[in-house]
Amino acid sequence: MEDDVTIQCEEMFYTRKEEQTMQNEFYVVIEKDEDGFFVGEVPALKGCYAQGRDVEDLMRNMRDVIGMCLEDETNPVIQNEFIGVQKVSIENEPANA
């Protein structure tokens, strides 16, 4: 005759307090300089510039610089709504005319 065996398992619950991180998104204005480097600026952060040999290198550098700018930022970051970029052509006379 077999005995019925009841195995009682206690469930253990672990509570882990996750760090709350805030994810920010910034617009990066990118230009190519006369030496062929890509130069980026974050208009929402004063003095936030970086450069790179290609866009991937630039964006890696921008993430580092943005992190440093946010650490130094004492005022709240207010980001304007990005509307677009327009090219303007003007005619001007040479300075020696």
Q: What is the pLDDT of residues 35-58, one digit of tens each?
A: 999 999 999 898 999 999 999 999
Structural domains for the chain: 29-72 (3.30.160.250)
Closest CA to 60 of 48, 71, 70, 52: 52
Give me the torsion for CA of 88, 91, 96, 97, rounded to 10°: -170
The pLDDT of residue 87 is: 92
**Placement of tokens 């195995």 in the chain:** 7
pTM value is: 0.65
What is the torsional sign of CA 26, 66, 61, 43?
positive
| 3 state SS of 10 | coil
pLDDT higher for 92 or 75? Answer: 92
**Placement of tokens 């990066």 in the chain:** 28
